[in-house]
Amino acid sequence: MAYADFVTAMMALFIVLWLLNSSSAVKASVSGYFRDPRGYTRTLGAGPANSGEGLPVHRDNVHDLERNLQQALRKMPELANLRQNVELTVTGEGLRIDLLETERGMFFETGSPAPTAAARRLLSMVGTELLRIGNPIVIEGHTDSRPFRGPPGQEVAYGNWELSTDRAHSARRLLLESGVPASRVVEVRGFADRKLLNPTDPMAARNRRVSLVVHFSD
């Protein structure tokens, strides 16, 4: 019993020393958890899935999330051929995750908002990582400048504006299926070809993309 008490006391000492040397964000996270374990977990987005307590992403730790996503990609061999079509960029808004299309349509069927199997696997992985934080998410859809050619008689009723918006909503639904709370998605945008990634080549396939923007926490 005396040895067990000694080990418990040492563990408590190490925890106190760790907290004393932790950042204010870590201290706030630990404090919030002990005050309201169930409610604080939902606030951070772990929820029923309980994929792990995490800290909101700020400007000083955004690269940690970027590294986590890159490592998760490397751990999934079946997604190896997608890596060059996934770009992670830190911007003034937060972490931007761009899913860049190929000529054949890597993430969405050509001219359709229907996601491919690759998009489902990738967004499932991304959703699992985003469960660890509580930041708001904005989803954008973009197309190239090629006029949309749908079924006969539908060219006017359905175009790049609708296609870009529908693809963004498809990505939103896949994130929700992976467990991301609906409240985390604060905006869905469709830009058609108004924000080209490669303005010098408006028809380039990489202009067709879906972007997830993980906003910095206030």
pLDDT at 186 over 60: yes
Note the pLDDT of residue 51: 38
62 and 150 assigned to the same domain: yes
Q: Are residues 29 and 56 in the same domain?
A: no
Tell me, yes or no, whether 147 and 54 share the same domain: yes
> Average pLDDT of the chain?
83
For the chain, what is the domain count? 2
Is the same domain home to 70 and 25?
Answer: no
User: Which DSSP helix (H) or strand (E) runs through 60?
Assistant: none
Q: Percent of the chain at pLDDT above 90?
A: 50
Name the pLDDT band for 200 (thresholds 50, 70, 90).
Answer: very high
- At 97 the pLDDT is 96
The pLDDT value given to residue 48: 41
7 and 72 inside one domain: no
Q: Write out the residue range of the structural domain in which residue 143 sits.
A: 50-215
Is residue 151 located within the same domain as residue 72?
yes
Highest mean pLDDT among 6-10, 26-30, 64-68: 64-68
pTM of the model: 0.72
Do residues 30 and 104 share a domain? no
The reply to whether 200 falls in a domain is yes
Structural domain includes residue 42 = no
Considering the domain architecture, whether residues 116 and 9 belong to the same structural domain is answered as no
CATH code of 58's domain:
3.30.1330.60
196 and 118 in a common domain: yes
Q: Which residues of 73-86 are buried (b: 16+ CB within 10 A; e: fewer)?
A: beeeeebeebeebb
Q: Once rounded to an integer, what is the mean pLDDT over residues 68-73?
A: 88
Q: pLDDT class for 125, splitting at 50, 70, 90?
A: very high
Radius of gyration over alpha carbons of the chain, in Å?
21
Quick one: 138 and 83 in the same domain? yes
Percent of the chain whose predicted confidence (pLDDT) is above 70 = 79
Residues 8 and 108 in one domain: no
Asked if residue 20 and residue 123 are part of one domain, the reply reads no
Is residue 15 predicted with pLDDT exceeding 60?
yes
Contact by Cβ (8 Å): 129, 97? no
pLDDT tops 70 at residue 47? no
Residue type, 65: L
Please tell me the least confidently modeled range out of 24-28, 51-55, 132-136: 51-55
Output the pLDDT for position 98.
97
Q: Is residue 169 classed as helix, strand or coil in its secondary structure? A: helix
| pLDDT the model gives residue 46 | 44
pLDDT, residue 11, reads: 82
Residue 42 pLDDT level (bands cut at 50, 70, 90)? very low
In a domain, 122, yes or no: yes
3-class SS of residue 163: helix
pLDDT tens digits along 141-181? 999 999 876 656 555 678 999 999 999 999 999 999 999 99
Is 22 part of a structural domain of the chain? Answer: yes
